[in-house]
Amino acid sequence: MLDQPDPEAVAARLDRRLVVDSAGEPHAELFATAVLLDFSADASVVRIVACGQSGPLLLRGGRVVELGVEPCTPLGLGLAEATGPKVVPVRLRAGDRLFLASDGVTEARDAGGVFYPLAERLPGLADGDPVAPAERVWTDLVRYCPDVRDDVTMLVLAPRAREGP
C-alpha cells in the first residue's frame, strides 16, 4: 500500500481488491470497515478516512472533540459507485490523543436498549495515563452492557512530542 499517495487512494485500492476477490463467489459478502490514518512526517497533522466505521475521537485538554469524520461505504461494496471517501485533516497539538473504537463499543446497548455513550463518558475515563483509556472504557462498557456480543477493538494513539520550534 505504500505506493498510494493518500488515504483516499489506499481506501479505493482496498475496496477494488475486496470487490475483485468476492466477484466470483456466489453470495459472497466480503466487505470490511476501516479507519485509515495518514500522519505527516512530524506527526503534526493526521489525515483521516473512514469507511463504514466512525472516525476517532480527539482527546484534548481533558475534553473529547468529535472530528466530523463522516464514514463512507464499507470497503468491498464498491466505493466507485457510491460517494467516495472524504479525507478530514486534523492538526494535532502536544498532549493530544486519538481514541478509536469499533462499533462493538458504540453499538453496545444497556438493558433498556440505549447505546453506550462513548463520547460522553470518555473524558472521565481518559485522564492520567495516556494509554489507560481503552482499559477503562472496556471496564465501563461491560458494566453498562454486561452481555457484549459484538467484537470490541479500541486503540489509543498519542503522537510523540515534536522537537524544535
Nearest to 154 by CA among 45, 49, 59, 43: 59
Q: How far is CA 77 from CA 3, 12, 16, 88, 151, in A?
A: 23, 11, 9, 21, 21
Q: Catalogue all structural domains in the chain, each as residue range(s) with its CATH number.
A: 7-157 (3.60.40.10)
Residue 1 has pLDDT above 60, yes or no: no
- Residues 33, 75 contacting (CB under 8 angstroms): yes
Give me the pLDDT at residue 26, please.
Answer: 67
**Largest separation between any pair of C-alpha atoms in the chain:** 57
Average pLDDT over residues 46-75: 91
Give me the pLDDT at residue 162, please.
Answer: 55
User: To the nearest whole number, what is the mean pLDDT of the chain?
Assistant: 86
Average pLDDT over residues 142-160: 90
CA 51/CA 7 separation, integer angstroms = 11
pTM of the model: 0.85
Q: How far is CA 16 from CA 20, 48, 77, 79, 113, in A?
A: 6, 19, 9, 8, 36
Per residue, the 3-state secondary structure of the chain, as one string, reads: CCCCCCHHHHHHHHHHHHHHHHHCCCCCCCCECEEEEEECCCCCEEEEEEECCCCCEEEECCEEEECCCCCECCECCCCCCCCCCCCEEEECCCCCEEEEECHHHHCCECCCCCECCHHHHHHHHCCCCCCCHHHHHHHHHHHHCCCCCCCCCEEEECCCCCCCC
Give me the pLDDT at residue 161, please.
Answer: 57
The pLDDT tens digits for 39-52 are 998 889 999 999 98
Instruction: Write out the three cell numbers for 143.
Output: 458494566
Nearest to 36 by CA among 61, 64, 4: 4
